[in-house]
Structure 1
């Protein structure tokens, strides 16, 4: 018996040590991801905790979290085996913010001033229901098959598409939602938010309030070799700054999103690893640094908050959109914009029409061309906070396609040569699940040129 007890104790010690070395350091990130996801999904889109756990948080390791929602206090909290409790608070108009123990939830905060698009027009240029439109060159049977085929059959959990919206020649030609979702459901765009950030810079450039080709206005860089990095370098993600983005482990990106108070400062503090414009690599930290730079262009926090919405989001009627903040009050422009699939399609339409929205030039045509021009060393894969198909990532889609892309398979595809915008929102994007190339191919083939 003593031998057995000793062996049992040894196994317990080894198990504890294994847990300590492999899992415990990740607990902050696990509970942080879970609390933020629960708070945003519940308070922004009114989803139940059970639905979020089954459809948003069913990710390896994240399922270890135990979650609670406090509707009266408007927050969600998560722990892992009772350890590392993290909390995300919700504020109407700002969405959810993951906070730490030092955050003062009682301190006053500002809200962005919003304006709702009021006109008598149908979607997409207004908020009335879209008019039925039939195009003789569209094979609607084939299109329906392509759209239906992108969703799971009842009881399946493979393709995991939540919404598809397709615009052709400014008209809605296809729309479908998964069970539990509809035209009013707000869905997180993840890294599609980066393209929203780029658009804010596009408006500032149009207003001649910023010159992106000048060194980035960052005081902390003026006494070292980072002083030559331009805003253009940051927009193109080829600044040469050190960064690691690997969501399978603890890295710069995960620590930024789930631990940092000031997310933009994480990239700001990184040293230069290469000369600017010589090495392209993907960095959410760079985008959040750009959000910090945007804040520096305004005298007050209120002006900064209002600008994002008045300049682009509300200007084109994306009234469902909410961009969330970090603890410092800066928008998390790398990852945290929520909107309906219809409103995401409006954003695609703005770029399809070279920055023109129903007769008003919101962005210069040159800016749209700039965003869709390949970044040096990206091999035709990336522009200015937009992904490109120049290099043929999707071989069955036109090479002029450029797109917003987000974690778990969010996409707004813009195809100028076909006058087409395709939106797909989901929770899977590759492998045996959802095949983007096949989906794009099938949709495109339903439209005869």
Structure 2
């Protein structure tokens, strides 16, 4: 047990580091830095418990505690099932409270921003697509080779780091041909998608474009940028979607304990109105000149979606449910919101592995649902999967998707590892993947919370190779 004196020493050291980082980066200081792990824990633990129905202690030990580093020794949490909330504390000095707000998921309550969006009212009736990708039971692999591929995706190295694969779904020719789940996970369990959520935001933008409510090439409708002499005024939704806006936020590509000092991480976990922070960021580079992966771009796109849908959380949720989730037959999906009522189309969509597969199928079918309804404009999928040349050559990024198309070094490396050249994918931190492979009429979904290097990409490359081989005609 750490003594109180050591507690204070660690906290003061932590605060001093935060103050130094604040002086260098312009962040708001040690209080915000210290708040990140506390708010992160309460939010994620609330979502895992009350959105996904996971065991709180198991999720904390597997998915949260390894990220906290030395702070974990000072952090305490309490899950209140009656009030449906989670409270956390860092050495008794920094507290956080996250509440479950019904279909709006969980959010951290900040002082003065404690309104709840859900008042117990019934949802408007929606006709959900009768999804035919699988029956009620778990679909066993169609052959031994696919079974072995799934074995490898779940295999753990005894010496670590842990993979914690929770679900894999293989969708071939529009049907699930094999799926597997970890203990405690079912086809109905929502799992965090992290940055795969950005690809879902891409779909919502496509729907707005198809309805004539948004032009991706015109200046983004951001009120804070409307002054005639504001250099941000010319930034387009396309530049936000391709990470080319040039706005001076942090970065969201690399994760780890030190990201508590990053402005992006602080925005995601310690700010009540995330889009206001992003909209007030200054330019760090001319639009179109620098590729920088930042959640600020996507929270601004998310606010644009909210505003186009009616301007508040309830209208935004109705729009997302009616125009995307219901037509795709999503059964277990929850998108969360910040305190300003903006959908967190950055990293906070929880959905079952089958729902992620249904999402991938939409892009495999060029934006058309299983029932033949066109959700995305013609050409939108190709636009989304087209390489952004300015994206760092080592990454290979399109418009909200990572892509093997184009001639980036990243694409060439992934193709050499077994990805087909026409494939593209939604990727989330810690090994979340929805991979779309048109040439093989194939979608592969892999979810979990891996601590293996580079978002578990070596294991996923193997899964892609072995799945394609397993489904080849005899």
Shift of 1:35: 0.3
Contact 1:130–1:172 under 8 Å retained in 2: no
The reply to whether residue 276 of structure 1 matches residue 283 of structure 2 is no
Shift of 1:89: 0.7
Shift of 1:106: 6.4
Aligned length: 434
Match among 385, 407, 417 for residue 400 of structure 2: 385
2:272 corresponds to = 261
2:34 corresponds to = 27
**RMSD after superposition:** 2.8
The reply to whether residue 226 of structure 1 matches residue 226 of structure 2 is no
Matches within 5 A, 1:161-200: 161-200=165-204
Contact 2:169–2:353 under 8 Å retained in 1: yes
Q: Deviations over 1:210-263 (max 9, x none)?
A: 111111112221221111111111111101111212533211111111111111
Shift of 1:207: 1.0
* More deviation, 334-343/40-49: 40-49
Distance (Å, rounded) in 1 between the aligned partners of 2:319 and 2:435: 25
Distance 1:115 1:78, change over 3 A: same
2:43 corresponds to = 36
Distance 1:154 1:14, change over 3 A: closer
Normalised to the residue count of structure 2, the TM-score between the two structures is 0.84
Match among 58, 63, 80 for residue 51 of structure 1: 58
Distance 1:191 1:15, change over 3 A: closer
Distance 1:176 1:16, change over 3 A: closer
Normalised to the residue count of structure 1, the TM-score between the two structures is 0.89
1:441 corresponds to = 465
Contact 1:348–1:412 under 8 Å retained in 2: yes
Match among 101, 111, 129 for residue 91 of structure 1: 101
Distance (Å, rounded) in 2 between the aligned partners of 1:103 and 1:37: 19
Unmatched 5+ stretches in structure 2? 19-29, 406-410
Matches within 5 A, 1:70-149: 70-105=80-115, 113=124, 115=126, 117=128, 119=130, 122-124=132-134, 128=136, 140-149=143-152
Distance (Å, rounded) in 1 between the aligned partners of 2:389 and 2:328: 31
Distance 1:306 1:108, change over 3 A: closer
1:326 corresponds to = 338
* More deviation, 154-163/44-53: 154-163
Match among 356, 378, 394 for residue 365 of structure 1: 378
Matches within 5 A, 1:200-211: 200-211=204-215
1:18 corresponds to = 13
Query: Secondary structure of the equivalent of 2:64?
Result: coil
Contact 2:193–2:349 under 8 Å retained in 1: yes
Unmatched 5+ stretches in structure 1? 1-8, 135-139
Distance 1:13 1:266, change over 3 A: closer
Distance (Å, rounded) in 1 between the aligned partners of 2:199 and 2:107: 21
- State the 4+ residue runs in structure 1 displaced beyond 6 angstroms: 9-14, 130-133, 154-157
Distance (Å, rounded) in 2 between the aligned partners of 1:10 and 1:343: 49
1:291 corresponds to = 302
Q: Deviations over 1:8-40 (max 9, x none)?
A: x99999766534424765431111111001110
Shift of 1:71: 1.4
Distance (Å, rounded) in 2 between the aligned partners of 1:393 and 1:94: 39
